[in-house]
Structure formats: structure tokens, C-alpha cells
């Protein structure tokens, strides 16, 4: 039973990390919207993908 509860805790932590990563990636992409120059926007997209790729 202890193993099961420990595994559940690990999954919950992982889920929290994923939620945070998604939030960060979303914030990066949202940023200042379309006022950002194209080259900076590309960098933001890549950074967001990098954050999310850890979980996929």
C-alpha cells in the first residue's frame, strides 16, 4: 500500500510540474502578442516547445 501511495504522490507532482510548464509555455507564447518582432516570436515558440517537450 505504501508503494501505491508513493507512486500516486509522484504522479501528482509530475502533474503539477506539467501544469506549471504548460502555464509557462502559454505565458511565453501570449507575451505581448503580435507586437513582438517575428524573430523574437520564433524564439518564444521554440522555448515554449522546449518546455513542453520534456513531458511528451
Grouping H, G, I as helix, E, B as strand and the rest as coil, residue 37 is: coil
Orientation angle between helical segments 38-53 and 2-30, nearest 10 degrees: 170
Query: What's the mean pLDDT in 15-36?
Result: 73
Query: What's the mean pLDDT in 22-32?
Result: 74
Query: What's the mean pLDDT in 41-46?
Result: 75
pLDDT score for 35: 58
Q: How many domains does the chain have?
A: 1
- Residue 9 sits in which domain range? 3-54
Query: What does the DSSP assignment read for 11-32?
Result: HHHHHHHHHHHHHHHHHHHHTT
Amino acid at each position: 500500500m505504501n508503494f501505491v501511495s508513493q507512486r500516486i504522490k509522484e504522479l501528482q507532482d509530475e502533474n503539477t510540474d506539467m501544469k506549471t510548464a504548460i502555464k509557462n509555455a502559454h505565458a511565453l507564447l501570449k507575451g505581448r502578442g503580435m507586437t513582438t518582432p517575428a524573430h523574437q516570436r520564433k524564439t518564444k515558440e521554440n522555448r515554449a516547445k522546449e518546455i513542453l517537450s520534456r513531458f511528451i
